[in-house]
Structure formats: structure tokens, C-alpha cells
Amino acid sequence: MNYKDLADAIFPNITKTIADYEKEYPARNLKEGAKVTRFAPSPTGYMHLGGFYQALIDYMLAKNSDGLFYLRIEDTDTKREVKEAVDLIYDTLNHYNIIPNESEYNGEIKGNYGPYFQSERKEIYHTFIKHLIEIGRAYPCFCTKEELDELRNHQEARKFRTGYYGRYAKCRLLPIENQIEKIKNGEEFVIRFKSEGNFDLKFKTDDQVKGTLELSQNDEDFVIMKSDDKLPTYHFAHVVDDYLMHTTHVVRGEEWLSSLPKHLELFKAFGFKTPKYVHTPLLIKKDGNSVRKISKRKDPEASMTYYKDDGYPALSVIEALMTIINSNYEEWHTANPDKRFDEFEYNPKKMSSSGAFFDLDKLDNISKNIISKMTKDEVFNYLDEWTKEYDLEFNAIINKDVNYTKAILNIEREQKKPRKDFGKWKDVKPAIWYMFNELFDKTELSYEWGKINNIDDIKEILNTYFNDYYDVNDDKDTWFNKVKELTERLGYTTDMKAYKENPDNFKGSVADVSTVIRVAVTTKSMTPDLYEILKLLGKEEILRRINRV
């Protein structure tokens, strides 16, 4: 009995060979230097910011080189609910317009290198595993969970490295006859890789981000096929898939670095060329005085849904990630303000190798800038879209008189130095609610009076101003001159310099008088241009609000 008999006993129905698959998945027809990348998420029902950031790198590498990037769903852990999780992956990529060149969704396949769900590639994996068994580089292991626990305890108690390796790999020594007999008897088994490595020996390998690494050889006989569903483990599946799908660059989180020696040994056992690896640094944040990784458990911003729910424009999130993907991105962007982010040449060597700071304040700033450059129509459309999903009441209000809403959104916009007050669509309502009577009337008002807060003074200012001065048709200069006249007439000062030097010598300044008008109509002490606000509200509504005061 030989390895071939063992392989046939385990996979009696597998008749194809690796060579057959190599014909089915021929080299890709791309120009020299074109990169092939893949985003390979496991459908967990949660889309981590770190995953999206890797997808963005996949996209950039492909885009920069006229290559392509595909989506492979790593669903070999079938205990999970897949459908909704896959929807989430698709919806996220679509929302950001990071569209894979090849993928499979709702039964629709785009690309010739599928299936793009690992669970549909079982026969392929079995063919490759069968080959390893035939050449004596994989074997069935019948150890029970109890035996493995015992092994681990034994190793831990002696402070030995844990794992199934060397003299602990006891199923490796079973004679083939016994192995075949056990299989015929229906005993449960996993398939393990038979390592030829020596943990005490080091080897060098290159990572695109980290540079040359010196790692210990793998010596573990790790599991490559599980017993219950006969599906491969990640270690095995990605090697086979990246080989057949002709991936040139594997972009993945640095948490995989420790298992890289396993993967490299597998590639070597098959005699396949290894792809280049781009191990991305962890996303980190400041937490008080320390720095830690952004965590799914502690940080809402770890989830991609956070950004959509709050209404960050897709481009803002992408730009914020680009600044941490490459240290020279911001400089490039400043020099090329009109270029699209994906015209930038991404270089893995210019990635921080120790951790990438993702900072929400920075995202907000980037986003405020981006939104400030939008026209009122763009802002309205995005706001309309977002409120349709997240705030139907507000959506109805802004759509009642679209021109009025756009005029509000246009205050200090479409000009050279636009106002930067919105970082996300969620910021809009709290900033402009008072411009809509429906909202003004149902809000419990709290007036932010300033220095002038005595009701008689307030009344005097408001009555005098609206009876004797205010005219909706005034231009801005006339409007302001009238406010100044009013100020002087009521015994306040327009001499801001003198006022600032000795505020106690005055009842108040022109700024305080304006504040009274501002607060009376909006309740807020800080608003955009008061002149514009008054004009938009109109005299009737202003008087109604004044009466309310």
C-alpha cells in the first residue's frame, strides 16, 4: 500500500488533477506589470474599517497598474449566516464605489476565475489535497479533541511551544494500512499538512510593507481540511485560490504574519510561485494617553456602518483612509487638488509599518472641507438621500420648498471662502432646524442670550429695530449701517476697540445688539450670516418669533 492508495481511500471520487485546473484557470491576459489583487473577507456580518482599508489598497494597486481586483468570499466557516453578511460586503463596496472587477453576487458571476465563494470550490481543494497526500505531504489525523487538549496541557505545563509538530505529531507515524483501515471504518479525521521545516532555522522573506523579514521555519503539521464539512482551513484555501486565480499581491492584515511561514511552506510543497505579500499595519487610535488598536468591541467607528449612518460622504472616508495608507498622500493631494484620489500612485513601502492612526477629528476636518466645496445642489441631493434613509420627518421638511432649503444651504457657500460647518449629513439638522417653522414651533426653545439679557433691554432693541429700521429689501451694507444706528441710538457703542479695552464702561456693543436680534429669531448665539437668515425668514416670520420672545 502506498500514498496513492491512501489518497484514493480518502477521495475516491476525485478524478481531476491539478493540471486539469491549471488549464481551466490559465494565466490572465493582462499587460506586463499589471497587478491582480483580491479582497477576501469572511462573511461575519460585520464590516470592519480595517477590512475596507485593505479593499481600498487592493483597488489602488489594481487601478495604478491597469490590473484587476476581485472579491472572494471566504465562507468556509459554514456555521455562520452568510447571505446578509455578503449583502453587507457588497453594499459597502458599492456605497464607496470600490467595485471589484470580478465577483459573484446573487448568482450572477462576473469573471472567469470563479466560483468566487470558497464554499463552492470544495472539489478544487480536494483535488489539491489529494495531490499532497499522493506525494506524501499530507495525511489523515485521527486524534480526538481530548487527545489534543491533553497534548496542549502537557506542552503548557512544561512551557514547551504548543502545537502539533515533530514528535508530538503522532498520526504522522501511523502506517498507511492503519490509516486506510480507519478511514474504511468511518473514523473521523482531519487532514494535516506534513511539514518538513525546522523551527530552529530562520529564513528570509520580503514583505511589501515591512521589508525583509527573518522568520522561523514552520514545523507544524497544521490542519488543512476539517473533519465535519470537509472544507479547507484558511491556510490551505488561500494558497490554492491565490494560485489558481493568479493573485499577484495578497493584501491582508498583519495579524496573518505569524502564519506566513505555514503559507510559504505550502506554496513550496506544491512548487508554486508565491504571490507578493502586503501585510497592512493595524488601525490604531489614541485613547487617553495611550495608543491602542481600533476595536470592534470598544469603538463604534470600527464598523463601516458607522460612517454611513452618520452621513459622512463616501469620499471623505476614502480621503481619510488615503492619508494613512501612504504618508505622502496629503502632500500629493495639496499639489493636485483637482485629481481623483485613485490617480495617486500607491506605494506599499510608504506605509507606516508599525500602526496606522485613524482619527475621527481628522476625518471630520477632511469632510468639512469636502462638503464646503460642494454646491448647494450637491449638498441638497446628498442630504435628501441620507434623510430618506435616516430621518424621514426632516426629509419631508426639506422637500416642502426645495428652493428655500437650498437657499439656506447656500448661506456662505459657493464662494471663495465657504463656511465649513458640516462634516456629515447628521450635522445639518442641528445646524439649521430653526430655519423651518415646523421645527421651530415644536422645539422647546432655550434662548442663548449674551451680555444683554434683561428682558426690557431686549424688548427695546427688538421693537425699535423692527419698527424703525428693518427692511427686507436692504442690501447688506445698508442693513449693517442700520444696526449701527440703532446701537448708537439706544446708548450702546459701535466703537469695538474702546469696548474691548474697557467693556465695563459700556452697556454693550454693536455685536451684543446683533446677538439680541440673532438669538431672538434663531435662539442661537452662533449662526451663519444673520443678514441672510433674516432675509430668508421674511418679516412676517421674524415678527412672529419676536412676539414669542
Q: Which is nearer to ligand GLU, 236 or 465 (CB)?
A: 236
DSSP codes of every residue in 93-131 = HHHTT---SBEEETTEEESSS---BGGG-HHHHHHHHHH
User: Quick one: which of 56, 62, 74, 371 contacts ligand GLU (CB under 6 A)?
Assistant: 74
For the record, the C-alpha cell of 419 comes out as: 463656511
- x/- mask, ligand GLU, residues 269-308, rule CB under 6 A, reads ----------------------------------------
Span of 40-48, 92-100, 183-191, 312-320 interacting with ligand GLU by CB under 6 A: 40-48
What is the nearest approach in angstroms of ligand GLU to the Cβ of residue 252?
Answer: 4
Residue 484 and residue 481: Cα distance in Å, rounded? 5
Name, in order, each residue with C-beta under 8 angstroms of 495's C-beta and a sequence gap of 6 or more.
509
**Residue 263 binding ligand GLU, by CB under 6 A:** no
Span of 3-11, 34-42, 259-267, 470-478 interacting with ligand GLU by CB under 6 A: 34-42
Asked if 537 contacts 521 with a C-beta cutoff of 8 angstroms, the reply is yes
What is the nearest approach in angstroms of ligand GLU to the Cβ of residue 7?
Answer: 27
Q: Which is nearer to ligand GLU, 41 or 508 (CB)?
A: 41
Q: Which is nearer to ligand GLU, 169 or 250 (CB)?
A: 250
Q: Which is nearer to ligand GLU, 74 or 221 (CB)?
A: 74
Q: Which is nearer to ligand GLU, 233 or 515 (CB)?
A: 233
Q: Which is nearer to ligand GLU, 98 or 250 (CB)?
A: 250
What is the nearest approach in angstroms of ligand GLU to the Cβ of residue 43?
Answer: 9
What is the nearest approach in angstroms of ligand GLU to the Cβ of residue 144?
Answer: 28
Q: Classify strands 108-110 and 103-105 as parallel, antiparallel or unpaired.
A: antiparallel
Q: Which is nearer to ligand GLU, 252 or 413 (CB)?
A: 252
What is the nearest approach in angstroms of ligand GLU to the Cβ of residue 13?
Answer: 27
Span of 37-45, 169-177, 293-301, 509-517 interacting with ligand GLU by CB under 6 A: 37-45
User: Quick one: which of 41, 50, 281, 311 contacts ligand GLU (CB under 6 A)?
Assistant: 41
Span of 36-44, 86-94, 393-401, 528-536 interacting with ligand GLU by CB under 6 A: 36-44
Q: Fill in the amino acid letter for 423.
A: G
Residue 13 and residue 81: Cα distance in Å, rounded? 29
Instruction: Tell which residue, 252, 248, 211, has the closest CA to residue 54.
Output: 252
Q: Which is nearer to ligand GLU, 37 or 522 (CB)?
A: 37
DSSP codes of every residue in 159-179 = TPPPSSBGGG-GGGGS-HHHH
Span of 35-43, 209-217, 270-278, 384-392 interacting with ligand GLU by CB under 6 A: 35-43
Residue 421 and residue 427: Cα distance in Å, rounded? 8
Which CA distances in Å does 425 have to 92, 247, 312, 371, 385? 18, 38, 6, 9, 10
Asked if 399 contacts 356 with a C-beta cutoff of 8 angstroms, the reply is no
User: Quick one: which of 7, 18, 36, 40 contacts ligand GLU (CB under 6 A)?
Assistant: 40
**Residue 42 binding ligand GLU, by CB under 6 A:** yes
DSSP codes of every residue in 381-433 = HHHHHHHHHH-HHHHHHHHHTHHHHHHHHTTT-SSSS-----SSGGGHHHHHG
CA angle centred on 273, ends 272 and 274, rounded to 5°: 110
**Helix (H), strand (E), coil (C) string for 63-95:** HHCCCEEEECECCCCCCCCCHHHHHHHHHHHHH
Q: Which is nearer to ligand GLU, 238 or 262 (CB)?
A: 238
Q: Which residues pair with 190 in a beta bridge?
A: 141
What is the nearest approach in angstroms of ligand GLU to the Cβ of residue 96?
Answer: 18
**Residue 238 binding ligand GLU, by CB under 6 A:** yes
What is the nearest approach in angstroms of ligand GLU to the Cβ of residue 327?
Answer: 23
User: Quick one: which of 126, 210, 252, 263 contacts ligand GLU (CB under 6 A)?
Assistant: 252
Helix (H, G, I), strand (E, B) or coil at 494: coil
Binding site for ligand GLU (CB under 6 A): 40-42, 74, 238, 250, 252
